[in-house]
Chains A and B, each alone.
Chain A
Amino acid sequence: MSAVRCLRLVSRLYPRGLRDELLEDMLGVFERERRRIRAARGRLAAHAFSLRTIVSAIGQGLGSRLGDSGRRLGGVGGGDGRGGAGHHVRHALSALRAAPGHVVVTVLTLGLGVGISAALYTLVDQVMLEPLPHPGGERLVRVWRTLPQFDWRRAPVSLPTFEDWVDQAGSFDVLGAYSPAIPVTWLGGDYPERISAGYLTDSLLPMLGIRPSLGAVPAAGQGEGASPPALVTESFWRSRLGADPDVVGRTLEIEGLQPIVTGVLPSEVGLLPAGVDVWMPAAAASQAAERDASFLQAVARLRAGASVAEAQAEMEAIAQRVAEAHPDAANGSGVWIEPQRAFLLRDVGTLLRLLGACALLVLAIVCASLTGLTLTRVYGRSQELAVRAALGATAGRVGRQLLVESLLVGIVGAAVGALVAHGLLDVLLAYGPRDLPRRTELAFDGGTLAFVVLVGLGSSLLIGLLPAVRAVHVARSGAALRGGHAGAAERGGPGGHRALRLLAAGQVGLSTVLLIVAALLTHSFLRLAAVDPGFATDDRLSAQVALPNERYPDSESARAFFARLLERAVQLPGVRAAGAAWALPFRPTYGSGTYTVEGQPAPEGTELLIGLVPVAGDYFRAMGVPIRRGRAFTDRDIDGAVPVAIVNETMARRHWPQADPLGRQFRRGETAYTIVGVVPDVKRESLAEESLAEAYLPFAQVAWANDLYVVLHTEGDPAALAGPLRAVLHEMDPGLPATAISPLSELVAETLTGPRFRVLLIGGFAAFAAFLALLGVYGVVRLAVASRTAEIGLRIALGAGRGRTQREVVSSGLRVALAGVAVGVPTAWAASGTIETLVFGIAPTDPKTYAVVVAALVAVVALASWLPARWASRIDPVIALRR
């Protein structure tokens, strides 16, 4: 929500008679002034201006209303005869000054609640709800090839097929495409370096409304040749090109190409993938002309009025025609149109919805808690309120007075909430998942501010409402004046205590839901972290070494290089074993293909898919992957010998569940591979994944892999071997970079970042909510004990044991807690389906987790109730009965 909309909403507080053309003009002036301040002094100053204006408008609006009411009531105040908003405010300030502790607790609690909710609202709003930042953003769709035989719905497309789509499709205004980041070697620095190149079609940037911050988008149709135009990203421009202002026209030295820079693009912009250093035309890619080389992801903007269903129908027909025209390259002829927003939210939609629900729960708990607190304070002020009523203040005036107090606290609470929201958003940006969609757009904006102001003030009014009603009741009844010196708390009466118990039970119920969700996520995270990735992570170092085709043109030269490298690496002090593989777990490179096993056809309409991993040297020992059966590769497994493979347990189980897989064969094309060993499954992309059938092939028998990840098993800190490994590489080939150097343990840890963040975030909210709920129960029990002091004293005097007194008090607290739990558990159970995709290894209705949460909550509530119970049991009957 924009600040202007917020101000418009707030202006509804003005009495109807004041909502005139001047108010409309003020809104226009506000908008223009805000824009001016933002341009001249930055976003923060614009926020400050908005906050000041909105708060002032609330003051004016309420002031006008209260002033009107006051005048209508004839100014019957606490005896002074004045009746405007100013008087209300002055009186409220004086009342609040008398209770600094109450004010501080209320402001901080409200600030935390509002801040947390505002940060989560911003996250949900900006990621899920805000319009996509591209022209016609809501009409943007992804156009995928589908490969149903592999159950693959989001397959990329080749440039020739994409061009066929462009020629034939009528449902779109425009189609564009880009590739993910592809590693290339940059030779323009002091030493060769791996950087990331991306390829895009001419139409993509204009379609997305992306303009270079420097220079210009290359003219269309200039991709071919050795010197294609290129756009460098800002981070590359700064880090590698020294932020050269004359970069346009400069030639980049990239292996095999000499692209000429035409401009500088922002590093992370719109839907383009992050991490790309240089963008070049798709036509410049080496595989651009191959219809089999699917390396582009297509995006399109639907023609105005065209629906996704229409585009889907049209594209299916086009895909069919293209498949028929190129039967050899079809490899599946399906197409799937997916709205861009759905694509963005594919992995985070559930989490964001959960966070949105958490925000509401936290806010509800905060409101309930503060209502209870304020209500308790009203009972404590019974005498004061009754005196004011006796001096002539109307009950309505007393109630309004309470509301103004609440509102004043709400204004300060909202300001604290703005700070909390700002800080929490910074934390989300710094420590949140890096793959959060639209992360770069996430910021504290006018919408956040509007939320803070509206929710902060709305909550404060809500919090003040029930106490105001009770205050009216107290003022009217005058019981406090008649009650002599009896405990002030007593004036709440049975109705007041019931309200407090209900509020406390409500808090326990809501926090039970949050605690159960947090516990399920924690339990799930622990299970995930305990998953065996299938390889050892301690004392392992990995680094990627990519051989340039120019200097290593054939597999012979590559094999010779890696053999020599591994031979030298294993001789480094501190290295126990050295190996290499084309694909490493949790690294992007991975290849798969189809295979057959004689006598075991694939199910109808599908093909068998297998992951292929060429390995070299002592790979299995270096990775800590044990050979379960058979043998590792040897020097005899070379080109020309019998093709061999080591398969994983999933593959062995799938095809030879009861038999020995050793000596069996599977085929890929014309080649039959004989299985010589079986190893455990190794996780590739995520610890939660089901393993694919996988085959390791000896590097010496593979002709298509030039990039390998070297893995060293070290004796101590693996990071210490990074330098020596680089030195060996430099000695062997000074023009060869080693990239992506990191211990294997870090690769695994990175995969846990997202789940850990979820646990910490939701766990933190749950802990905050539970703390407030406990305070609520404590407050109720404490108030009940205070109001029954005389009765408890009498019972003790009559012989009731102190232990029994304690048990009674504790059980009154437990009754409140159990009432809350009785509502919270079924609610959590009913809502459990929504987090099904976020938990791993347990059911979202896992009874053990529920039981642990309930037991822990009851135990802590018992403890919170025990403190007032102890106090009750120590009441001196003589003193109590004198009161």
Chain B
Amino acid sequence: MQTLTYRVLVALGRGTSDGNELLTRLREQEGGEEPSLPTLYRTLREAVGRAWIRVEVDEDVSGRGRPPRVYELTPEGWRALRAQADRLRDLAALALEVAPASDSEHGR
């Protein structure tokens, strides 16, 4: 799973969101860069294609123009997020086993 896909799933894990809100969540995620809109939407499209995300019309918003779409994690999305999180945790554990403690000097 690509990093941005993972970040998007995490952001949507906090709750259903429209595009602007999703962008804000990604911006506020620790250590994450804000993706360009076309990159974000390419990622969304791929996630929708894998049935990880469901798209719905935001009926609460009225006014001129098309109502915004809201994005929501599907059960498959939750499972994929959980699996990736487990993988990352295992990888992190592996790294912690081999990496020296942060207060010791590397190579000595």
Contact indicator A18/B68 (Cβ below 8 Å): no
Contact indicator A18/B55 (Cβ below 8 Å): no
Residue of A nearest to B41 (CB): A26
Interface string of B13-55 (1 = CB under 8 A from A): 0000011100100000000000011111110110010000001
B residues near A668, Cβ cutoff 8 Å:
none
**With A22-B69, A52-B36, A53-B37: A60-B20 Cβ-Cβ less than 8 Å:** no
Contact indicator A28/B37 (Cβ below 8 Å): no
Report Cα–Cα, A52/B38, bound state, in Å: 10
A residues near B55, Cβ cutoff 8 Å:
21-22, 25
Report Cα–Cα, A52/B35, bound state, in Å: 10
Report Cα–Cα, A36/B38, bound state, in Å: 18
- The answer, yes or no, to whether B108 is at the interface (CB within 8 Å) is no
Contact indicator B45/A29 (Cβ below 8 Å): no
**With A22-B55, A22-B69, A24-B66: A33-B45 Cβ-Cβ less than 8 Å:** no
Interface SS majority for chain A: helix
Contact indicator A29/B44 (Cβ below 8 Å): no
Contact indicator A53/B36 (Cβ below 8 Å): yes
Report Cα–Cα, A28/B63, bound state, in Å: 13
Interface size class of B (residues with CB under 8 A): 10 to 19
Report Cα–Cα, A53/B36, bound state, in Å: 6
Residue of B nearest to A24 (CB): B66
Q: Select B19's contact among A28, A56, A60, beta carbons within 8 Å.
A: A28
B residues near A29, Cβ cutoff 8 Å:
18-20, 23, 37, 68
Q: How far is the CB of B63 from chain A (nearest CB, A)?
A: 11
B residues near A18, Cβ cutoff 8 Å:
45
Residue of A nearest to B70 (CB): A25
Q: How far is the CB of B2 from chain A (nearest CB, A)?
A: 14
Q: How far is the CB of A492 from chain B (nearest CB, A)?
A: 39
Contact indicator B41/A22 (Cβ below 8 Å): yes
Interface residues of A in 10-36 (CB under 8 A from B): 18, 20-26, 28-30, 32-33, 36
Q: How many residues of A contact B (CB 8 A)?
A: 20
Interface residues of A in 33-68 (CB under 8 A from B): 33, 36, 52-53, 56-57, 59-60
Q: Select B20's contact among A20, A33, A53, beta carbons within 8 Å.
A: A33
- The answer, yes or no, to whether B65 is at the interface (CB within 8 Å) is yes
Contact indicator B23/A33 (Cβ below 8 Å): yes
Report which B residues bind A (CB closer than 8 A).
18-20, 23, 36-42, 44-45, 48, 55, 65-66, 68-69
**With A28-B65, A29-B23: A60-B39 Cβ-Cβ less than 8 Å:** yes
Contact indicator B20/A56 (Cβ below 8 Å): no
Q: Select B38's contact among A20, A24, A33, A60, beta carbons within 8 Å.
A: A60
Report which A residues bind B (CB closer than 8 A).
18, 20-26, 28-30, 32-33, 36, 52-53, 56-57, 59-60
A residues near B36, Cβ cutoff 8 Å:
52-53, 56
Contact indicator A57/B38 (Cβ below 8 Å): yes
Report Cα–Cα, A18/B38, bound state, in Å: 12
A residues near B19, Cβ cutoff 8 Å:
25-26, 28-29
Contact indicator B48/A22 (Cβ below 8 Å): yes
B residues near A30, Cβ cutoff 8 Å:
37
A residues near B69, Cβ cutoff 8 Å:
21-22, 25
Contact indicator A22/B37 (Cβ below 8 Å): no
9 CB < 8 A contacts A-B: A25-B69, A26-B19, A26-B38, A28-B19, A29-B20, A30-B37, A33-B20, A52-B36, A59-B38
Report Cα–Cα, A33/B23, bound state, in Å: 9
Residue of A nearest to B44 (CB): A22
B residues near A22, Cβ cutoff 8 Å:
41, 44-45, 48, 55, 69
Residue of A nearest to B19 (CB): A29
Report Cα–Cα, A591/B9, bound state, in Å: 78
Q: How far is the CB of B5 from chain A (nearest CB, A)?
A: 15
B residues near A26, Cβ cutoff 8 Å:
19, 37-38, 40-41
Report Cα–Cα, A721/B39, bound state, in Å: 68
Report Cα–Cα, A60/B19, bound state, in Å: 18
**With A32-B20, A33-B20: A23-B41 Cβ-Cβ less than 8 Å:** yes
A residues near B45, Cβ cutoff 8 Å:
18, 20, 22
Interface SS majority for chain B: helix
B residues near A24, Cβ cutoff 8 Å:
66
Report Cα–Cα, A449/B18, bound state, in Å: 27
Most A CB atoms within 10 A — which of B18, B36, B37, B48?
B37
Contact indicator B68/A56 (Cβ below 8 Å): no
A residues near B38, Cβ cutoff 8 Å:
26, 53, 56-57, 59-60
A residues near B20, Cβ cutoff 8 Å:
29, 32-33, 36
Residue of A nearest to B68 (CB): A28
Q: Select A33's contact among B37, B42, B44, B65, beta carbons within 8 Å.
A: B37
Residue of A nearest to B40 (CB): A26
Taking A33-B23, A56-B37 as given, write out 19 further A-B residue pairs in contact, using a Cβ cutoff of 8 Å, ordered by the A residue number: A18-B45, A22-B45, A22-B55, A22-B69, A25-B19, A25-B41, A25-B55, A25-B69, A26-B38, A26-B41, A28-B19, A29-B20, A30-B37, A33-B37, A53-B36, A53-B37, A53-B38, A59-B38, A60-B38
Q: Select B39's contact among A32, A36, A56, beta carbons within 8 Å.
A: A56
Report Cα–Cα, A303/B1, bound state, in Å: 62
B residues near A53, Cβ cutoff 8 Å:
36-38
Report Cα–Cα, A463/B77, bound state, in Å: 45
Report Cα–Cα, A24/B41, bound state, in Å: 10
Those 3 A-B pairs whose CB atoms lie nearest each other, nearest first:
A29-B19, A56-B36, A25-B69
A residues near B23, Cβ cutoff 8 Å:
29, 33
Q: How far is the CB of B64 from chain A (nearest CB, A)?
A: 11
Q: How far is the CB of B43 from chain A (nearest CB, A)?
A: 11
Q: How far is the CB of B91 from chain A (nearest CB, A)?
A: 25
Residue of A nearest to B58 (CB): A25
Report Cα–Cα, A883/B55, bound state, in Å: 68
A residues near B39, Cβ cutoff 8 Å:
56, 60
Report Cα–Cα, A29/B22, bound state, in Å: 10
Q: Select A60's contact among B18, B42, B44, B48, beta carbons within 8 Å.
A: B42
B residues near A33, Cβ cutoff 8 Å:
20, 23, 37
Report Cα–Cα, A378/B40, bound state, in Å: 37
B residues near A20, Cβ cutoff 8 Å:
45
Most A CB atoms within 10 A — which of B42, B48, B66?
B42
Report Cα–Cα, A26/B42, bound state, in Å: 10
A residues near B44, Cβ cutoff 8 Å:
22
Q: How far is the CB of A62 from chain B (nearest CB, A)?
A: 11
B residues near A28, Cβ cutoff 8 Å:
19, 65-66, 68
Report Cα–Cα, A30/B18, bound state, in Å: 12
Report Cα–Cα, A33/B69, bound state, in Å: 15
Q: How far is the CB of A725 from chain B (nearest CB, A)?
A: 63
Residue of B nearest to A32 (CB): B20
Report Cα–Cα, A277/B48, bound state, in Å: 61
B residues near A36, Cβ cutoff 8 Å:
20
Q: How far is the CB of B48 from chain A (nearest CB, A)?
A: 7
Report Cα–Cα, A840/B41, bound state, in Å: 58
B residues near A32, Cβ cutoff 8 Å:
20
Residue of B nearest to A23 (CB): B41
Report Cα–Cα, A30/B37, bound state, in Å: 7
Residue of B nearest to A25 (CB): B69
Q: How far is the CB of B69 from chain A (nearest CB, A)?
A: 4
Q: How far is the CB of A654 from chain B (nearest CB, A)?
A: 65
Report Cα–Cα, A53/B40, bound state, in Å: 11
Residue of A nearest to B39 (CB): A56
Q: How far is the CB of B16 from chain A (nearest CB, A)?
A: 14
Q: How far is the CB of A84 from chain B (nearest CB, A)?
A: 14
Q: How far is the CB of B86 from chain A (nearest CB, A)?
A: 29
Contact indicator A25/B37 (Cβ below 8 Å): no
Report Cα–Cα, A59/B38, bound state, in Å: 9
Q: How far is the CB of B12 from chain A (nearest CB, A)?
A: 14
